[in-house]
Structure 1
């Protein structure tokens, strides 16, 4: 192992792809997971088409399944290549992003890597966004005796985790990619994740995001996102009122974003306008 790998507890490893940017933060997180004594491993989000990144994922164990959280290229561009390298099937919500397997569906229970993963449909960021919930043991695990000296090891050893893709990020907020992404769907997805975290018996559920650091408490993270969205909705509604007073009957996302998101960098304005479009559609509903 080398320094690009991070160990999360005893059964999850994360490799961050070298694709940093305004929308990918410090890069896309690819995860490798398995239960104690399992012969195979599962990869969540292969990431971009970067040969060294994919070669490391392929060498991380006997890959038996590759899962996709949503269709964006920074999560899926390497999928076909990792399928070639490992022979493992790739499964996603959309059939066109699957390789050698059927599409995933909400509530499906997947048995792989010695684990049971539950598929959670969490649309909002995109229409096909999924999260994967898995309960992990506290001891043992195929990664417990890896060359830890050359890896970055998190302090947390979570029993229960949810891989959140871009539905909840490790830092910042998620873009609602209108028109496929819908704000009403996204708010429902946040409520689902908050409830899953709040109702976990006797334990805290961690969020393992597609970008950024691990979040120890998915319920708290979801609540924070809900509060942020409520504030943004109020700001958008106020901006619409101001534009109406200026005689603009149907404000455009760009006009609203100039008021609500005027302080963000130019290279993020397009993403801001997508979210504003979703919020305008929500308010008009």
Structure 2
């Protein structure tokens, strides 16, 4: 039987070089849970882990079993604990070095990730793309046939911008992913994978511009100096109120973007 998303605790092949192991941490911000990606070139035994997921011993044990412990490198897409919480236990289980853009997540004798860097490991060629917006340290990983987008592009829904992410950066990141990733499979950190990143990325860009227009309209009614939460109540009526505090972060980014346009 062919596995489909979500398949908790089971290694599901997606492309010739990428398989996913879904952590059992579903929630409003994690959707079905965190996707831990296991990358391995055909015919290779060594592998690369992308995002070990939350601090969950059962999930880390499943990663170690699925890889046979042959993890030569672990990569982190961004700082949030549902992606980084399992780092130390995975290192104890496999001895893997860990690389991320933020130094606090490095393990072993390694350097922080840099934009445009090409990593050749486990028979793979992985290009690092700095794609800030969801967070300032967000990165994506470009493979020959796929793009691992972390939380920059999800498998369903849309991405929240955290307090250190900016809408200007996010839109630039989306344009870059569209340019470099079109025709490649989308391997997100949450939600189902997609055979082509391009239509999902185009939807994301369109959605952001629609929200900006909604915020502009709200400011016309509420006044140019309106509080972000007042805008949330006006614009995000289609979103559950439990998500409004996170929506507020996105609105603050939108307001900063619009007000910088007005000052330009």
Q: What TM-score do the two structures reach when normalised by structure 2?
A: 0.92
Asked whether 1:92 is paired with 2:100, we answer yes
Q: Is the 8 A contact 2:25 2:33 kept in 1?
A: yes
2:187 matched residue in structure 1? 208
1:65 matched residue in structure 2? 73
Q: Is the 8 A contact 1:66 1:89 kept in 2?
A: yes
Give structure 1 regions of 4+ aligned residues with deviation exceeding 6 angstroms: none
Match of 2:168 among 177, 184, 190: 184
* Alignment of structure 1 residues 101-250 onto 2, 5 Å: 101-135=110-144, 160-178=145-163, 180-198=164-182, 204-244=183-223, 250=225
Which deviates more from structure 2 when the two are superposed, residues 207-216 or residues 261-270? Answer: 261-270
Per-residue CA distance 1:9-50 (angstroms, 9 max, x = gap): 332211110100000000000011111222310000000011
Q: Separation in 2 of the partners of 1:197 and 1:131?
A: 10
Change (3 A) 1:117 1:98: same
2:3 matched residue in structure 1? none
Q: Separation in 2 of the partners of 1:80 and 1:102?
A: 17
1:4 CA displacement: 2.3
Q: Is the 8 A contact 1:196 1:219 kept in 2?
A: no
Q: Is the 8 A contact 1:66 1:91 kept in 2?
A: yes
Number of equivalent positions: 251
1:155 matched residue in structure 2? none
Q: Which has the higher contact order (CA 8 A, sep 6+)?
A: 1
Q: Separation in 1 of the partners of 2:62 and 2:121?
A: 20
Secondary structure of 1:174 counterpart:
coil
Q: What TM-score do the two structures reach when normalised by structure 1?
A: 0.85
Q: Separation in 1 of the partners of 2:184 and 2:147?
A: 7
Pairwise CA RMSD:
1.4
Unaligned runs of 5+ in 2: 1-7
Unaligned runs of 5+ in 1: 136-159, 199-203
Q: Separation in 2 of the partners of 1:197 and 1:9?
A: 15
1:111 CA displacement: 1.2
Secondary structure of 2:66 counterpart:
coil
1:3 CA displacement: 6.0
